[in-house]
Amino acid sequence: MPSHGSNPKYVYEAMGIQIPNQYIDLSANINPLGPPQALSEKWKVFFKQIVDYPDPYALSLKEVIMEKEKMDHDWLLIGNGGSELITLVARFLAKKRVLIIQPTFSEYEKACRVNECDVSYFRLNEPNWELDIDRLIPLLENADAIFLCNPNNPTGILYPQSTILRLIKECKRAGCFVVLDEAFYDFVETYESSVGLCKDFSNVIVLRSMTKMFAIPGLRLGYAVTNPMIIKELSAFQSHWSVNTLALLAGEVCLQNEAFILMTQEYIAKERQKLFQFFQKEAFITSASRVNFYLLRDPKIENQKLLFRFLLEKGIVARHTFNFPGLDGNWLRFAIKSTHENERLMEVLTEWRMSHH
């Protein structure tokens, strides 16, 4: 099975099912509204700039982020998608002891293992996946860094600022870095930024992705915020011109588009509420997601692979959870997409319910 969402043809192949002419891909958690309109309007102008090398310091994009996040440019590093930043952080942590809060994005572990880190897990318990810091504290003595994704991928759960702050303080006491991946922060309506915490705590590294909200995963763009000492080390590992001109220009347009972000948040909240009411009525269990994806399982069957297969046969691609330690295939992850696609999912699940009640 593929280790990420998207690329449905690999999923059908792995499951030995003939790929239908039409299918709905709910396995990749990208903004269903697509990229901001402003991006296609400026694309022709951007095209003219591909004959020049990109600015290796990404200064004009940094200025937009500085304005938005109230941070100086030496606290910022622009990366070729969140995954490049994860790779750089893992390099920075080479051979150290890393604790990963699971279930979570599989790239942290992959990148850390390549850099010969000693990796261990702290597993959150389903179905609430509460972040119990008292249970975590004893493990911090034996860790040099922890990875936490918040809002969490794959559960969609948001841990409140108070919890994050306590976690950071306990880690500081134990001499442990906190890598906070906030790839989906901008899907949360009442989000409190944790970027300011980097100023107060030198052990915090915040990662942000720009490909999810602005639906530009093909462009690759993200940024890290942490103290200038760490930024220096991370950027030393980064290859020159790692972020291309088009991505840098697109990033400026996207970040200045506040209205697009608000429109997305409202849209996702409305669709999520509709879906969750349906799931409750039909006795499906979901994670308490605050973002544009969620976990779901049918408590009436032991093995969720049956539901996964049924959906594939009906042309709906969910994300399996076999490679999320702590989920081990017991849940399926779905992205919230267009109204029409979400309705189709509800239709197919209604069919499933009629045959599996």
Average pLDDT, the chain: 96
Nearest-CA neighbor of 243 among 216, 205, 214? Answer: 216
- Tell me the residue type at 60: S
* 60 pLDDT more than 90: yes
- Tell me the residue type at 138: P
End-to-end CA distance of the chain: 28
The pLDDT tens digits of the residues spanning 276-317 come to 999 999 999 999 999 999 999 999 999 999 999 999 999 999
Sole residue written with tokens 């509460």 = 130
- Tell me the residue type at 36: P
The whole-model pTM stands at 0.96
The pLDDT tens digits of the residues spanning 128-167 come to 999 999 999 999 999 999 999 999 999 999 999 999 999 9
73: which DSSP letter? G
Nearest-CA neighbor of 121 among 100, 144, 148, 142? Answer: 100
Token digits of residue 332: 């399926």
Rg, Å, the chain Cα set: 20
80: which DSSP letter? S
* 201 pLDDT more than 90: yes
Structure confidence at residue 4 (pLDDT): 75
Q: Who's near 355: CB < 8 A, 6+ residues apart?
A: none
* 357 pLDDT more than 80: no
